Amino acid sequence: MSAAGAQGRAAPAVPGSPRLFGILDAALRYSPLLVLVAIWEGLGLSGLVSRQMLPDLGTILSEFWRMLVGGDLLYNTARSLSRSFSGLALAILVGLAAGLAMATARPARLLINPVVQIFYPMPKSALIPVVMIWLGLGDASKVLLIFLGCLLPVVVGAYNGARGVNPFLIWSARSLGAGRFEVLREVIVPAAMPEILNGCRTALAFSFILMVSSEFLIASDGVGYMISSLGDGGIYPAMFAVIFFVAAIGFAADRIYTAIMRRQLRWRNA
Amino acid sequence: MSALRQAPAADGAAAPGASGIRIDTVTHAYRSPGRPPVIALDRISLDIGPTEFHALLGPSGCGKSTLLYLLGGFIPVQEGAITTPKGRVTAPGPERSIVFQNFALFPWKTVRENVLYGLRKSGVGREESEARARDFIALVHLTGFEDAYPSQLSGGMQQRAAIARTLAVDPKILLMDEPFGALDAQTRRVMQEELRAIWQRSPKTVVFVTHDVQEAVFLADRISIMSSRPGRIQHILDVPLPKERGEDTLESREFIQLSEHIWRLVREQAVAATRGRL
Ligand SMILES: Nc1ncnc2c1ncn2[C@@H]1O[C@H](COP(=O)(O)OP(=O)(O)OP(=O)(O)O)[C@@H](O)[C@H]1O
Ligand SMILES: [Mg+2]
């Protein structure tokens, strides 16, 4: 990297250690969570809500530790994640193909667009009973449900991204010798990447929601199943431990995803 | 710069007869629903020689970009025909490369990757491509910014990167839409001399759009002066200056006289255009 100018503009001068600054910054940003913790504990101690319903965080933590060490939690988490990532991966593959086809070929647009418009606002969890009848209680039904739920955000992201490509970029590539397929791969897809990645981010969140809600209803393992069976059994501290753990995993997945996304798109605000 | 300097020397004389581009009564209208069509070009006819440097001069909105897009094959020819030695122009092709008015660099590629794109497409090997990219980036004075993304560059720098990307593939027909519009006066002068030199070393058809009369006279063999609404070619002038042009060309009597003459013709068009709009 010899571009002094490029680097100079990319990195703003931050006094002190950038790493320490980053940690402090993150700590500060998430400090409002402490207020929630205080409210939780306060409500519990005040007696307004029974401790049964709002177990103290210490008990929840120790329950969490017990399930973690026992292996229960990790096993069920692995089962759940494998379902949600299978569904998500499938949705990204199919969604990208459908969205790009719609953006670049009129027949595909005429065929797929009405389907997308009708199914977009529909809550995918409404399909749980149908999918259960079709595919039974195994993994396939949950993967299909997650796939269906994640599909449309990807389709819409790819479609909007690809439609919005600056035509001059396509013309440039064509006049530099690119064929139609090369234009798709080398111009349309990278140009649409910001919207594609945003669509996939929405899909990632949907995959967690559908994973848990489908496991509530049709499963004999997984974190959703854990939450519902612990709840049914009245074992609330353990139930809350699983709920918080799922929330933490979802949060971590989103953070990792946005970090990757920022890296992919560093050309935008470099 | 070695690869550039080694290119075969030749004089840019237009061989009479053989046509680089033949534009035959081309009319182009932009139509949008619910509005009267805009006649951007009205029966344009023009023959440009295979090694001619042709400048298009005219007021804003007279259809210069539209004509260039038609030559590039980016928009379909509605009426009339455009032919090159490769036949009718119906689609873009690598023998006709363009520098767009708005640069159109790939924003996700660095300067080097942008310049390499066309080279790799034209089948030039990796090492040769890298060397040519380096040369052309140096030519447009962007050495040191190879790894910068377009968003990190000023408008003038982006424009120079776009010029390097297009020149690097050495097209038979070079289309340039106000390629120096975003440059400061000094850089502009240097680029004009470089472009003229490149064209003399590697003769090709150049269609060069500009607002700048002196730029047109300095660079071109022939100049078309256009009028707007509807876009027409009003005058076609020869530029009887020596092939070799440099600082002293700008001070020569012929240059100054021709520039003034063309200024008057352009002014007439501009005044007419303003009247038409009022
Ligand atoms: N996509 C479009 N839709 C409708 N009208 C258009 C479109 N593009 C250009 N025009 C019209 O066609 C005419 C010619 O436009 P063009 O861009 O070719 O002009 P130009 O000579 O390149 O101008 P400038 O010097 O400002 O770049 C203008 O009157 C413009 O309003
Ligand atoms: Mg223009």
Confidence of residue B243 (pLDDT cuts 50, 70, 90): confident
Whose C-alpha lies nearest to ligand 1, atom 27? B60
pLDDT tens track for A144-183: 999 999 999 999 999 999 999 999 999 999 999 999 999 9
pLDDT tens readout for residues A204-235:
999 999 999 889 888 789 999 999 999 999 89
A165 touches chain B (CB under 8 A): no
Q: Is the pLDDT of residue B105 over 90?
A: yes
Nearest CB to A270 within list B91, B97, B151: B151
Q: Quote the pLDDT of residue B246.
A: 84
* pLDDT single digits (tens) B118-150: 999 988 899 999 999 999 999 999 999 999 999
Instruction: For residues B38-53, give the mean pLDDT.
Output: 93
The pLDDT of residue A7? 42
pLDDT at A84 over 90: yes
In which element (H, E) is residue B224 found?
Answer: strand B222-227
Rounded average pLDDT over B265-277: 75
- A187 at B interface, C-beta within 8 A: yes
Task: Specify the pLDDT at position B11.
Answer: 38
Residues flanking ligand 1, CB < 6 Å:
B 30, 32, 38, 40, 60-66, 101
Residue B14 pLDDT > 50: no
pLDDT interval class at A240 (50, 70, 90): very high
- The tens digit of pLDDT for each residue in A7-57 reads 444 444 445 567 788 888 888 888 888 898 889 888 888 888 888 888 888
Q: What is the pLDDT of residue A1?
A: 39
Residue A181 touches chain B, beta carbons under 8 Å: no
The architecture in CATH of the region B6-85+209-277 reads 3-Layer(aba) Sandwich (3.40)
Looking at residue B179, its pLDDT comes to: 93
Look at residue A193 in the predicted model and tell me its pLDDT: 96
Q: Region B38-45: what's the mean pLDDT? A: 93
Is the Cβ pair B149, A166 closer than 8 Å? Answer: no
Distance from C-alpha of A165 to C-alpha of A173, rounded to nearest angstrom: 12
pLDDT of residue A201: 96
- Asked whether B65 and B98 are in contact (CB, 8 A), the reply is no
Q: How far apart are the CA of A97 and the nearest CA of chain B, in angstroms?
A: 21
- CA–CA separation, A99 vs A105, rounded Å? 10
Structure tokens given for A105: 């070929």
* CB contact at 8 A, A239 and A227: yes
Q: For B17-29, what is each residue's pLDDT tens digit?
A: 455 899 999 999 9
Q: Do B104 and A166 touch (CB under 8 A)?
A: yes
Q: Residues of chain A with pLDDT > 90: what percent?
A: 62
DSSP, residue by residue, chain A? ---HHHHHHHS---SS-HHHHHHHHHHHHTTHHHHHHHHHHHHHHHTSS-TTTS--HHHHHHHHHHHHHHSHHHHHHHHHHHHHHHHHHHHHHHHHHHHHHHHH-HHHHHHHHHHHHHHTTS-GGGGHHHHHHHHTTSHHHHHHHHHHHHHHHHHHHHHHHHHT--HHHHHHHHHTT--HHHHIIIIIHHHHHHHHHHHHHHHHHHHHHHHHHHHHHS-SSSHHHHHHHHHHTT-HHHHHHHHHHHHHHHHHHHHHHHHHHHHHTTTT--
Instruction: Give tens-digit pLDDT for B143-189.
Output: 999 999 999 999 999 999 999 999 999 999 999 999 998 899 999 99
Domain boundaries, chain A: 2-46, 57-269
How much is the average pLDDT of B105-119? 96
Residue A143 identity: V
Give the relative orientation of helices A57-70 and A236-264 as an angle to the nearest 10 degrees.
Answer: 80
Cα(A34)–Cα(B133) distance, rounded to whole angstroms?
55
Q: Average model confidence (pLDDT) for chain B?
A: 88
Please report, as a single letter, which amino acid is at residue A267.
W
Segment A184-210, tens digit of pLDDT:
999 999 999 999 999 999 999 999 999
CB B133 within 8 A of CB B147: no
Average pLDDT for residues B40-52, to the nearest whole number? 94
CATH class of A57-269: mainly alpha
B65-83: average pLDDT: 95
Q: How far is CA B103 from CA B175, B181, B238, in A?
A: 12, 11, 29
Place of tokens 């969490």: A64
How many CB atoms lie under 10 A from the CB of residue A19? 8
A86 vs A157: CA distance, rounded Å: 20
Of A250, A247, A217, nearest in space to A232 by CA: A217
Alpha helices in chain B (DSSP H): 2-5, 64-72, 111-121, 126-139, 155-168, 185-201, 213-219, 247-251, 253-277
Q: Are strands B222-227 and B232-238 parallel, antiparallel or unpaired?
A: antiparallel
Determine the distance from the C-alpha atom of residue B118 to the mean position of all C-alpha atoms in its chain, rounded to a whole number.
17
State residue B18's pLDDT score: 53
CB contact under 8 A, B93 and A193: no
Subunit contact A177:B109, Cβ cutoff 8 A: no
Q: Residue A270: list chain B partners with CB under 8 A.
A: 149, 151-152
The alpha carbons of chain B give a radius of gyration, in whole angstroms, of 19
Residue B3 has pLDDT above 80, yes or no: no
Q: What is the ipTM for the molecules in this complex?
A: 0.88
- Supply the DSSP string of B159-188, one letter for each residue: HHHHHHHHHHT--SEEEEESTTTTS-HHHH
In Å, how far are A77, A96, A215, A251, B155 from A225, measured between CA atoms? 10, 31, 5, 20, 57
Q: How confident is the model at residue B278 (pLDDT cuts 50, 70, 90)?
A: low
- Confidence grade of residue B269 (pLDDT, cut at 50, 70, 90): confident
Q: Give the pLDDT score at B163.
A: 95
Chain A residues in contact with B144 (beta carbon < 8 A):
2-5
Closest in A6, A166, A175 to B148, CB measured:
A6
Q: At what angle do helices A139-163 and A128-135 cross, to 10 degrees?
A: 120
In what side-by-side order are the strands of the sheet with B38-48?
B38-48, B21-30, B79-84, B87-88
Q: Are residues A173 and B72, on separate chains, in Cβ contact within 8 Å?
A: no
Please check whether residue A166 is in contact with residue A187, taking contact to mean a CB–CB distance below 8 angstroms: no
Percentage with pLDDT > 90 across chain B: 69
